[in-house]
C-alpha cells in the first residue's frame, strides 16, 4: 500500500508541475502581441529519489525564468533614442527649410535679385521718377522678405519651445508611470510577467524621448537614469524634469532671444548632457540651429548679420553720393544722399525683423551722383548694381556676394535636412536590426552563443575590410565623375 500511495503522490506532483508549465505557456501565447512582453519558461526540478531515506523522486516546479535579456533591451532602447532624435530633426528642419526659398519664386533671393535689377534700371535713367520709385518698391519688398523670414524663424523658435515643454511633460508622465509600476513590483508583484512587460514597454517609449539606461533591481523594479547620470526613477521615487527659458550668464545682448534649458529634479542644468532622443534633437534645434540664423545672447545670427551688412553697404554707397550738385559759384552746396534702409540699432538680433525702407525718403532723394573725382552722374546706381557681382571685398559678405551668402544659408538648412533624412532611414534600419537581435537572443544557450560569437567576430572583420575597399573605390569613382551635359 505504501508503494501505491507514493506513486499516486508522485503523479499528483507531476500533474501539478505540468499544469503550471501549461499555464506559463498559455500566458506566453495570450501575450504574444503584448508590447514589451518576453516569453517565460517554467523550470521543472527533478527531486532526489532514495527509498531508504524516504525521498520519493518525481518532479516539482522551479522558478519561472524570463527570456528577457537586458543587454538586448538596452540595445533596442538605444536605437529608439537615435530614431526619435533623427525623426524630430527631420520634422524641425523641414519647417526650417521652407523658410528659405531658393527657387526664385519668392523670398529673400527673389527680392534681392529684383532690387539689383531696379538699381540697374535706375542707372540707365538716373533722373527718372518711375525708376526711382521702382528702387523704393524693390527695397521695400526686400525688407519685407527679411521681416517674413525672421518672423518665420521666431515662430519656429516659439513652436520648438512649445514642443520642448510638451516633451518634458511627456517624459515626466512616463517616468510617473514607471514609478507606479515600480511600486507594484516592490509590493510583491515583481515576478508578474505582465507587469514586467508594462515596465519594458514604457521604458522603450521613454527612450524615444531621452537617452536612458535602465537597470533591473532585485524584486522586479527598475532604476532609470537619463544618459546614465541623471536619475529619473529610483524605486518608488520619481525625479521629474523641468523646462524653462533663460539668458546665459555670459550673454552680451540681454535683449536677444533666450535659450531653452532643461533641469533635473534637483535644479541642475542638464541641457548639455541630454544629447539624444526627441528632447536632445529639439534642444539642439532650439539652442544651436535657430540661433545660428536669428542669434542669441552672444551672436547676431547669419540672417541678422547679412541684413545689417547689406543695409549698411547700400546706405553707405547712397550717402557717399549727392542728390544734386553744388552750384557753379558754390553758393548752393551739393545735397548729400540719405540712407535707404533703417533697422533697430539697439539689438543686433532684431535687425532682419525690423529692416524697413526709411519712412522719410522720397524717390527724388535717391542720390545718383558719384562726386568722384571724376564725377559720374549715375555712379551710385551703377555701384549699387555692382553689388550683385562684387568686384571688391567691400561689396562682399564673408568673401562672397549677398546672393551667394543667402544661398549658403539656405543650402545649410537643406544639407541639415538631407543629413537628418538619411540618419532617420539608417536609424530605422538599425532599430529593426536591434529588434531582430533581441528576438534572436531570447532563450539562447550560452555555450552555443560563445561558439557563434567567435564566428561573428571573423565575419565582422571580413565585412569591414570589404566595406573599406568599396568605400575607397566609391570615393575614387566620385572623383573621376565629370560634370554632365544633361
Partner 1 sequence: MALEAASGIEAVSGLAAVRVEVEGACQSLLSASPEALARCEGALQRAVEALRRGRTGWNWKSSSKAVRAEAAHLEAAILRAGRLLSSASRYHAGWLRILSGMTGGYSPRGEAASMPGVRRISLEG
State the residues that interact with partner 1 by CB under 8 A: 71, 75, 79, 422, 425-426, 429-430, 432-434, 436-437, 440-441, 446, 449-457, 459-460, 462-464, 466-467, 469-471, 473-474, 476-478, 480-486
Q: Which is nearer to partner 1, 364 or 457 (CB)?
A: 457
Q: Which is nearer to partner 1, 124 or 468 (CB)?
A: 468
Is the Cβ–Cβ distance between 335 and 379 less than 8 Å? Answer: no
CB contact at 8 A, 381 and 363: no
Q: Which is nearer to partner 1, 82 or 307 (CB)?
A: 82
- Cα(61)–Cα(23) distance, integer angstroms: 12
Shortest CB 278 distance to partner 1, Å = 20
Q: How far is the CB of 360 from partner 1 (least distance, A)?
A: 51
- Counting every residue written for the chain, the total comes to 486
Closest distance of CB 69 from partner 1, Å: 9
In the bound state with partner 1, the residue whose beta carbon lies nearer, of 268 and 449, is 449
Residue 188 or 443: which CB sits closer to partner 1? 443
- Report the alpha-carbon distance of residue 424 to residue 190 in Å, rounded: 36
Give the span between the Cα atoms of 413 and 197, in whole angstroms: 41
Minimum CB distance to partner 1, residue 97 (Å): 19
Q: Which residues pair with 49 in a beta bridge?
A: 56
Give least dist CB 463 to partner 1, A: 5
Q: Cα–Cα distances in Å, from 130 out to 111, 115, 118, 127, 137?
A: 18, 14, 10, 9, 10
CB of 422 to partner 1, least distance (A): 6
> Of the two residues 158 and 466, which places its CB atom closer to partner 1 in the complex?
466
DSSP string, 247-313: --TT-S-TTSPPEEEEE-TTS-B-HHHH-SHHHHHHHHIIIIIHHHHH-BTTB--HHHHHHHHHHHH
Shortest Cβ 261–partner 1 spacing (Å): 32
Q: How far apart are CB 111 and partner 1 at their closest, in Å?
A: 30
Strands 237-238 and 242-246: what pairing? unpaired
Greatest CA span in the chain, whole angstroms?
Answer: 145
Q: Are 85 and 280 in contact (CB under 8 A)?
A: yes
- Angle 194-214-454 (CA atoms, 0-180°, nearest 5)? 100
Residue 355 CB-density burial (10 A; 0-12 exposed, 13-18 middle, 19+ buried) = buried
Q: Name which of 374 and 458 has its Cβ closer to partner 1.
A: 458
329 vs 476, beta carbon nearer partner 1:
476
Cell of 230: 541623471
Nearer to partner 1, 93 or 262 (CB): 93
Is the N-terminal amide bond of 373 cis, ω within 30° of 0?
yes
DSSP 8-state assignment for residue 327: P
Amino acid at each position: 500500500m505504501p508503494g501505491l500511495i507514493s506513486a499516486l503522490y508522485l503523479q499528483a506532483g507531476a500533474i501539478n508541475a505540468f499544469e503550471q508549465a501549461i499555464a506559463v505557456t498559455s500566458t506566453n501565447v495570450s501575450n504574444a502581441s503584448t508590447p514589451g512582453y518576453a516569453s517565460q519558461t517554467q523550470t521543472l526540478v527533478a527531486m532526489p529519489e532514495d527509498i531508504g531515506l524516504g525521498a520519493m523522486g518525481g518532479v516539482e516546479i522551479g522558478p519561472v525564468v524570463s527570456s528577457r535579456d537586458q543587454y538586448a533591451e538596452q540595445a533596442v532602447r538605444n536605437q529608439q533614442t537615435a530614431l526619435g532624435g533623427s525623426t524630430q530633426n527631420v520634422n524641425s528642419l523641414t519647417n526650417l527649410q521652407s523658410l528659405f526659398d531658393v527657387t526664385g519664386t519668392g523670398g529673400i533671393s527673389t527680392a534681392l535679385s529684383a532690387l539689383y535689377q531696379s538699381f540697374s534700371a535706375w542707372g540707365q535713367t538716373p533722373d527718372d521718377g518711375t525708376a526711382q520709385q521702382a528702387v523704393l518698391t524693390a527695397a521695400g519688398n526686400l525688407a519685407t522678405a527679411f521681416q517674413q523670414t525672421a518672423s518665420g524663424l521666431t515662430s519656429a523658435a516659439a513652436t520648438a519651445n512649445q514642443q520642448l515643454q510638451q516633451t518634458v511633460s511627456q517624459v515626466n508622465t512616463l517616468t510617473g508611470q514607471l514609478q507606479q509600476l515600480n511600486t507594484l513590483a516592490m509590493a510583491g508583484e515583481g515576478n508578474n510577467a505582465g507587469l514586467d512587460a508594462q515596465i519594458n514597454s514604457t521604458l522603450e517609449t521613454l527612450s524615444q524621448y531621452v537617452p536612458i539606461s535602465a537597470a533591473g533591481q532585485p524584486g522586479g523594479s527598475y532604476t532609470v537614469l537619463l544618459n546614465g547620470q541623471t536619475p529619473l526613477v529610483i524605486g518608488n521615487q520619481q525625479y521629474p524634469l523641468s523646462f524653462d527659458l533663460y539668458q546665459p550668464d555670459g550673454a552680451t545682448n540681454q535683449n536677444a532671444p533666450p535659450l531653452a534649458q532643461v533641469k533635473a529634479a534637483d535644479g541642475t542644468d542638464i541641457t548639455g548632457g541630454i544629447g539624444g532622443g526627441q528632447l536632445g534633437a529639439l534642444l539642439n534645434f532650439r539652442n544651436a540651429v535657430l540661433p545660428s540664423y536669428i542669434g542669441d545672447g552672444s551672436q547676431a545670427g547669419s540672417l541678422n548679420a547679412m541684413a545689417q551688412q547689406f543695409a549698411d553697404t547700400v546706405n553707405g554707397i547712397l550717402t557717399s553720393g549727392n542728390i544734386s550738385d553744388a552750384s557753379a559759384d558754390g553758393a548752393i552746396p551739393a545735397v548729400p544722399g540719405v540712407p535707404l534702409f533703417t533697422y533697430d540699432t539697439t539689438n543686433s538680433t532684431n535687425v532682419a525683423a525690423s529692416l524697413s525702407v526709411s519712412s522719410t525718403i522720397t524717390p527724388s532723394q535717391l542720390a545718383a551722383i558719384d562726386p568722384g573725382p571724376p564725377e559720374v552722374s549715375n555712379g551710385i546706381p551703377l555701384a549699387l548694381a555692382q553689388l550683385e557681382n562684387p568686384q571688391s571685398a567691400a561689396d562682399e559678405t564673408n568673401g562672397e556676394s549677398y546672393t551667394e551668402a543667402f544661398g549658403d544659408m539656405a543650402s545649410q538648412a537643406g544639407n541639415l535636412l538631407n543629413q537628418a533624412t538619411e540618419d532617420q532611414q539608417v536609424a530605422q534600419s538599425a532599430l529593426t536590426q536591434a529588434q531582430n537581435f533581441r528576438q534572436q537572443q531570447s532563450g539562447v544557450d550560452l555555450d552555443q552563443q560563445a561558439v557563434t560569437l567567435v564566428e561573428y567576430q571573423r565575419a565582422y572583420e571580413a565585412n569591414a575590410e570589404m566595406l573599406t575597399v568599396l568605400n575607397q573605390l566609391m570615393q575614387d569613382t566620385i572623383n573621376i565623375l565629370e560634370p554632365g551635359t544633361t
